[in-house]
Structure 1
Amino acid sequence: MKLIKLDAIDSTNDFLKALSSQDELENFTTVTAENQTKGKGQMGGKWQSEIGKNLTMSVLVKDFLFDNEQVFNLSVAVSLAVSEVLKSLNIPDICIKWPNDILSYNKKLVGILIENTIKSDGRIVSVVGIGINVNQTDYTDLPNASSLAVISGKTFEKEEIAVLIVEKLKEKIELWKTSAALLWDDYFNSLFKKGVPMPFSNLDNKNFMGIIQGVSSVGKLQVLLEDDSVAEFEIKEVKMLY
């Protein structure tokens, strides 16, 4: 894989998107940064990270998505790839909080932001942003977050994790050609709080009880409500209260 290492950048996703628009980059080109000044989360949220302590990376993915209805497939593949790498590092109790946060012991370790661009010829080119809390240990202002170091009691080599993730992602994308249904099953089975009654909050800040049933093919969260109907929610339309 082609690895571009930066000391500081506003956003690795923005850097890689700009680079890919000007140059025919090889698939899975990866950018990492020690300091990201304007890291992005889902729906315009911010990704905060202590300088030099965590893994901030973006990966170019081409020739996988060919239809807008398929874009969540990449989220599934990335979530599973990152989850399996963390499990291989002996990080316990790994699960995927819809749509693609990775948790351990209910604490967020990983945020994923995928940005897709449709080219003039119809191709979909994706930039996969992955932020992993690796060696940071102070989460005073982020009570729902933790890191590999906090959970395992040891430090990690960030670049080695980046390489493992890209190799695992390549593996998942190749596997998708023959085993898409199996990968979707793995994703469903890894979902945080799946099948467990729990409180949610909607856009109007109204709380309600529901049970996560799964995720639709386009990435909507499917929740069984108290009246036995199943509602589907887009990202940011619903919040899990845990």
Structure 2
Amino acid sequence: MDASTLQEAAAALLSAYETGKPIAPLIETYPAATLEDAYRIQQRVVRHWAERGDGVRGHKVGLASAAMQRQMGVDQPDYGHLTGSMFHLEHQPIPIGGFLQPKIEPEIAFVLGSRLRGPGVTVADALRAVDFVVPALEIVDSRIQDWRISIVDTIADNASSGGVVLGSRPTAIGDIDLRLVGCVLHQNGEIAATGAGGAVLGSPVNALVWLANTVGPLGVALEPGHVVLPGSMTRAIPVSPGDTVVATMAGLGSVTAKFSGEERP
């Protein structure tokens, strides 16, 4: 895709954000689009936000489970950006009207204490860079009609990012084996899904290493204070106005997201 076509695709996604109307799959409109094209579209969208004051505060890793990779026909994860406006306070009503087709996933969020930049990052490097971990709920969303996404669509659409709620209880990464952390996801008081940290590339730490080594050659570093979401421990569940979702993680505590029917300001 040439520069003008990349910008056209980015503008279509930005229009979906602004109007609340999803668009047709990009892979149908641009059937020759590659994964590299998709990341270039994503970068244009994120740059547009940054120029308007909504800066990058972290990253997310998607397609981190073997099941999701098989479903999408890929052999590696993908990544997106987390901006300041995506973060919501725990227990405070989240206006669901600000999303198009929201679903929610439980994740173990890393908060970095030092800079992490690839290539060549090891598990030991990643562990040293983490300040603490907290339970988190990621709101995934799609600007593509009916979630009819290909790998190109989800990458271009910032890895289907929507929002994030962080728990308030920090845990030192050396105090817990993230592979063995079990998770129970409740929606309106009923169990909606269960999972464990080991579902995320064998360990969420592996996702952090992959991310640092993938974005490093692009000139991107993971900075102190950045939040990294490594991937979901369970399937994603749809959410509706009035829903309350709680993820309880063994040894890490819980995190709660509440959704109102209000439009985003």
* TM-score above 0.5, yes or no: no
Greater helix fraction, Structure 1 or Structure 2? 2
Q: TM-score, normalised by structure 2?
A: 0.27
